[in-house]
Amino acid sequence: MSLSYWEIKSWLTNINFTIVGSGIVGLNCALQLKNRFPKANILVLEKGTLPQGASTKNAGFACFGSLSEILDIPKMMLFSL
């Protein structure tokens, strides 16, 4: 995709924050940044027409794993020190 001079000038200059991905996390990040920095210019990039990452594969639910996996985290943290 080739952008014109005017598209580059208007869309891709004076950007304060760039977010890659327009899924649940990306859009929430953009909203939080806009709330915290109202005058900031925020650019959200997405590969396709619609988001196709993890947000669409798990129906928007945060998947933390089973209880046994959660209980194993402190053990793994000990070994990583």
CA–CA dist 16, 18 (Å, integer): 7
Mean pLDDT in residue range 20-29: 88
Whole-structure pTM value: 0.60
Q: How many domains does the chain have?
A: 1
DSSP 8-state class, residue 49: S
Q: Which two tokens stand for residue 23?
A: 């899924």
Q: Which residues pair with residue 44 across a beta bridge?
A: 19
Segments forming the whole domain that contains residue 22: 5-80
- Per-residue pLDDT of 44-57, as tens digits, reads 998 877 777 666 66
Residues written for the chain = 81
pLDDT of amino acid 81:
52
Task: Return the sign of the alpha-carbon dihedral for residues 62, 57, 71, 67.
Answer: positive
